[in-house]
Structure formats: structure tokens, C-alpha cells
Amino acid sequence: MNRRQASTRSRRRTFWARLAAAAAVLAACGAVGCGREAPSFAPASLTVTSAPPGAAILLDGRDTGLVTPHTFLELDAAVYDVRVELAGWAAAPASRTVELQPLDRRTADFTLSQTGLRVTSTPPGARILVDGADSGLVTPAVVPGLGAGPVQIALVLDGYLAFPASYAATVTTGQITELPEGTFVLRPRRTVLLEGFANVDCGPCPQMTGNLLALVAQPGYGPDRVLFVEFSVSWPGFLDPFYLANPAENADRYTFYRVLAAPALFADGVKLADAVDPALLRAAVDAGLQADPGVLVDVAADPEQAQVPVTVTLLPRRDLDLTGHLLYVALYEDEVSVLPAPGSNGQTEFHHVFRDRVDTPPVLGALSAGVPVTHALTLARGDRDPARLVAVAFIQDPATGAVLQAGSSLVPPVAAAGTEGSRP
């Protein structure tokens, strides 16, 4: 080996030695930081849950804008005060203190409970008053956030009367107290009576019946607000089977109103200009529902007996002088099928067919507010299906024909429900 070759080999050994030394230094710097402080952040996580879910999460008193369940990532190691809030619910425990160490994975669980009262009504939509204050809720609803102990509950619904005036309920901590079914009875201030006059040989008569059925099938026009009864006349066909089933009392009714043509339709004793105009019918009923007669009519009947016992209770809400007014009480059959069609108009399904009436309607007099007046009467069932018979009663002034108020056995009585509630 000459001198030049030896020099080149020496330089190569020096290069590799220096490179190895540099690598060792870099490795050492990676381990100890070469004089710089190593990072100390080691994030922790916290999962917050509640049953039921959906509660707002507060950390150290600050609303995070998040709801349960939620996991917070990359939290600093620290001590946290954790709370959850859900309107109308109480959390157990009220708060949790959670200490997080680096890389911890912790959970904070909460159980939510309500202290409140569930209130329902038929029909729904009644405002719920608690101790005389409007809760801002309508039935059916849970009134949350009530304190344990007794409360007075009342209902208010426009156009209706609530019985009783209020109900004393006891609220239990951590529970939803259920008011017993039927605690409140809601009744309209007014029930409109519709009386139709038809014949199986009358061409437009089925249309009148169809209009009546369509109206009472609509929400807000049920039997607590609208009643209709169809009487039969002896023309144009004198063999109408419904007329012949009770000719005297059918004739008595159409004679009272001086009905000369069919179809004819009366709303609260007032004849409609057009018996088959649904808009006119609806307008007459809506107008009638606005009246406040100051008295309710309760009707209870037992159609299972051949001689149907009927009890009618008048519930005056104010002093009324009804001297000379009559209390008409009758039975109708809600649906009758006849095949083949008994008349020339082709109708085979008949509805709310008049069947019997009390022979001598009671004559009324003065009524005192809050003092019920009861009449016990009897109607003839005949061979008809008891399940299809409905008893109706209405107060009428025979001098003017005006019907003041009506009621039927289809509507729950309020006589035993207590004092009338707040009137809207």
C-alpha cells in the first residue's frame, strides 16, 4: 500500500467515526431533551350520562351547551364539579366531584326523577290550573316541578264547564301522581237539538240525513254538543214504516212545527230555510253553541228493560224561571237497516230514528241555582235492540217552539261530579 492509499483509508475511518458519534448525540438528545423541558400534557376523558338522557351538562358551573350522554376528550388533569339539568326533573345526586389524573377515563352517571302531576280530560285541551295559577299546560300533560304535598287542580276549557270546581291531589316527591280516571267531567254549556222530518218516498231526504251524519262525525260536534232525531211524516208515501211504527207521536211532532213538506230541518226549534244545505246547518249549530242557557240536562236510561226507566236531572247554574216550559223525553234508534229499500228514494240505512216519547211531558217552573231537579219517567222499548237505543231530553217553550237545552244518555252525567268549575 502506498502513502496515498493509506491516507484515503484513514479519512474514511474518521468520517464514519464522526457520523456514529453524531448519531449517538442525537439519540441521547431524544432521550433527555438536550436541555429542553419534555411535554407533560397527558389528556383525560369524562363521560356524563343521565337516565333519562337529554339533560344539559354543566362543568364547574358552566353550561357546556351539550346534553347527556356525552364524552369530553382531552381534558386537563384537574378536579371537576359535574352537574346535569333537565327542566321539570331533579337530578340524583345533585352534583358529582370528579378528579381526573393524566390519561384517566372516568364516568359521571345521574338519575333524573320528576315530582309532578299527570292530568287528563275528555275532551283534551283544557288549561290546567294549580292552586289557582295557570300552569301554561293543557290536558293531557304532566305538570312538573311541583312541591310535595297537597295541591288544588282545576280545569278551564272555552265553551265547557268543569265539574268539580277543583280537585285536591297530593304530590309525592320523585313521583308523577296520576289523577284518577274521570276525576273531572267536562260538559259544554250548550247542546244543540236538531230535528229532521223525512219520508221513505222523499227524494232529497237521504241527503239531509247524510249532512247530519257528516256534521256529528266532526271533532267538536259529538253528542255532548249536537243531538239529532229524525221523525217521519205520512207523505208523499203513506206507507212509511217508521211513521207507521208510531203514527200518533210522529204526527204530533210535525203538527207542532206545522211541517208541510219533507225534508224539513229544525235547529233548537227554528226551521232552517234549506234542509239539505250543509253550510246553513253548520252555521245554525255554531250559533246555537254560543248560547249559555244556564242549565244542564243529565239523562240516564236502562234500555235493557221493556219499559225503559229514564231519569232526567236538570242542573241549574243560575236562577231560572221556566214556567210553562215542557221537558220532552224520547227514545231514538241510532241505526236501522231495511232491505230491500222500503221507499222510492232507495234509502236502506236510517239513522237516529224516533221511536217513542213520554206521553205527557212534565211542565217546568222556577229553578234555583245549584238545586237539581229530577224527573223519573218511562219509555217503551218494543222489540228493538237495547244497544241501539238512546234516550234524549230537551227543554222547550211550547209558545215559541224555542229549545233551551238538550241532553242524552250518551253523555256522562255530571250530577254526582260535584260543583261546577271555573267558567271561561
Instruction: Report the CATH number that the domain containing residue 89 is assigned in CATH.
Output: 2.60.40.1120
Please indicate, yes or no, whether residues 241 and 386 belong to a single structural domain of this protein. Answer: yes
CA 307 to chain centre: 37
* Claim to verify: residue 210 and residue 86 sit in the same structural domain: no
Look at residues 291, 272, 116 and name the one whose alpha carbon lies nearest to residue 188. 291
Query: Within a domain: residue 18?
Result: no
- Whether residue 3 lies inside any domain: the answer is no
Query: Which pLDDT score is estimated for 115?
Result: 85
Q: Which residue has the higher pLDDT, 179 or 333?
A: 333
User: In this structure, is residue 352 part of a structural domain?
Assistant: yes
227 in the same domain as 305: yes
Could you tell me the residue range of the domain that residue 91 belongs to?
A: 44-114
Alpha carbon dihedral 267, 270, 275, 280, in 10-degree steps, equals -70
Q: How confident is the model at residue 113 (pLDDT cuts 50, 70, 90)?
A: confident
Terminal Cα distance for the chain, rounded: 122
Do 231 and 344 lie in one domain? The reply is: yes
Judged against a pLDDT cut of 50, whether residue 25 lies above it is answered with no
Residue 139 has pLDDT above 70, yes or no: yes
Query: Would you say residue 66 has pLDDT above 60?
Result: yes
Residues 124 and 207 grouped into a single domain: no
| 22 inside domain | no
335 and 222 fall within a common domain: yes
Give me the number of domains the chain comprises.
Answer: 3
Read off the pLDDT band of 317 (50, 70, 90): very high
305 occurs within a structural domain: yes
DSSP-derived letter for residue 265 is E
User: Are 268 and 280 part of one and the same domain?
Assistant: yes
Of 114, 132, 150, the residue that ends a domain is: 114
Q: Give the confidence band of 89 by pLDDT, cuts at 50, 70, 90.
A: confident
Same domain, 144 and 225: no
Residue 15 has pLDDT above 50, yes or no: no
Are 256 and 318 contained in the same domain?
A: yes
Boundary-marking domain end, from 151, 186, 221: 186
Structural domain ending residue among the three candidates 52, 87, 114: 114
Model confidence at 173, in pLDDT bands (50, 70, 90)? Answer: confident
**Domain assignment present for 37:** no
Q: Domain holding 312: CATH number?
A: 3.40.30.10
Q: Are residues 63 and 135 in the same domain?
A: no
Domain CATH code at residue 140: 2.60.40
Looking at the fold, whether 363 and 390 belong to one and the same domain comes out as yes
Residues 321 and 376 in one domain: yes
Which helix H or strand E contains 192, and what residues bound it?
strand 192-198
DSSP 40-99: ----EEEEEEEESS--EEEETTEEEEEESSEEEEEEPSSEEEEEEE-TTEEEESS-EEEE
Sequence-distant contacts of 95-103: CB under 8 A, at least 24 apart: 98/46, 100/44, 100/46, 100/75, 100/76, 101/44, 101/77, 102/42, 102/43, 102/44, 102/77, 103/42, 103/43, 103/44
144 and 88 Cβ atoms separated by less than 8 Å? yes
For residue 200, tell me if it sits in a domain: yes
Q: How far apart are CA 170 and CA 174, in angstroms?
A: 13
216-227 confidence digits (pLDDT tens)? 999 999 999 999
Task: With respect to residue 21, please indicate whether it lies within any of the assigned structural domains.
Answer: no
Average pLDDT of the chain is 89
pLDDT beyond 50 at 421: no
Positive or negative: CA dihedral 195, 413, 370, 170: negative
Q: Which three cell numbers stand for residue 69?
A: 350522554
